[in-house]
Amino acid sequence: MNLIVDVGNSFVKLAVFSKTILKHKQTIECDALFENVKLLVKRFKSIKQGIISSVGTLNNEDISEINEFVRLLILNSETRLPFKNEYKTPRTLGVDRIALVSAAVRLYPNKDVLVIDAGTCITYDFINSRNEYLGGAISPGLRTRYKSLNNLTANLPLLETEQPKDIIGVSTKESMHAGVIFGALNEIDGMIDSYKLKYPDLTVILTGGDANFLSKQLKNSIFANSNFLLEGLNYILQYNSNE
C-alpha cells in the first residue's frame, strides 16, 4: 500500500492507496502530521512506501520521523515524471501542478487534456496527446478574489463564497458575489473555449476545493474529480517504484 501526503498552505491531506484504489482519505492540521501518519501505518500495516508533496511549509523533522516508518519519495523538480516536461522554468513548476498532470497522463493517455484546479489559485495545466506538458496559466481563486476586494479597498467587506442571485447585483454584497463568481465562471469557460479552438478533442478536468461549487455552472462539458491530485501523486510514486 502507498501513503500519500499532500501538504498545503493550511492543511495536510493524507491518503492510502492499494495499487490504484483509494482506500482512505483525511484532512488534518499541519502540526498533527506525524501523529496521524503513525496511526495510518498502524491501521494499514502493509504500507511500505509513501510520497510527500508540499506547497506549504514542510517540517524536516516530520520527514525524518516518517521515514522511520515508511520509505519516502519527496516530490520536487528532480523527480522522474511520467511525461515530457516542456516548461521553460521546470524548477518553478509547483509540485501540485506536476501531480495533476501525472494524473491526466494515467487516466487519459494519448489525449489533449486541460486540468483546471480551483483552489487558492485557479491553475490551468495542459498536456498534449504526445505526452508533452506545455504549461498553462495561474489566476486568483474564489477566496483570493474575495480577500483582495476586502484587503485592497477601504469599504468592501470580507464575504464568504455564495452563489449570486443574479448577474446584476442590487447591493454591494450582491455585486461582489456577482463579480467574483460570474467573473471566475466566465474566465474558466473562456479559457476552455480558447483551448478548444486549438485542440478540438480536448478533455477537461476540474478539481480542487471549489470544483463542486463551480462544476454545475460551467457551460462547457467537464469531468469533476476531487481526488485527481492524490491519484497523480500515487501514480508518480508507482512510476518511481519497482513494487
Q: Does 120 appear as a known binding residue?
A: yes
Of 17, 49, 39, 14, the C-alpha closest to 29 is 14
Q: Does 95 appear as a known binding residue?
A: yes
Q: Does 97 appear as a known binding residue?
A: yes
Q: Does 12 appear as a known binding residue?
A: yes
Q: Does 87 appear as a known binding residue?
A: yes
Q: What is the DSSP letter of 93?
A: S
Q: Does 172 appear as a known binding residue?
A: yes
Radius of gyration of the chain (CA): 19
156, 149 Cβ separation under 8 angstroms: yes
> What is the widest separation between alpha-carbon atoms in the chain?
60
H or E stretch at 103 = helix 95-107
Q: Does 9 appear as a known binding residue?
A: yes
- C-alpha distances in Å from residue 28, one per residue of 57, 105, 165, 216: 14, 28, 34, 28
What region, left, alpha or beta, does residue 88 occupy, with left being phi > 0 and alpha being psi -120 to 50 degrees? alpha
- The one-letter code for the residue type at 241 is S
Task: Look up cell 487558492; give the residue.
Answer: 120
Q: Does 7 appear as a known binding residue?
A: yes
The CA distance from 13 to 15, in Å, is: 7
Q: Does 96 appear as a known binding residue?
A: yes
Active site members: 96
Strand partners, 138: 123
The CA distance from 35 to 220, in Å, is: 43
Q: Which residues are annotated as a binding site?
A: 6-13, 87, 94-97, 117, 120, 172
Q: Which residues are annotated as a binding site for ATP?
A: 6-13, 120
Q: Which residues are annotated as a binding site for substrate?
A: 87, 94-97, 172
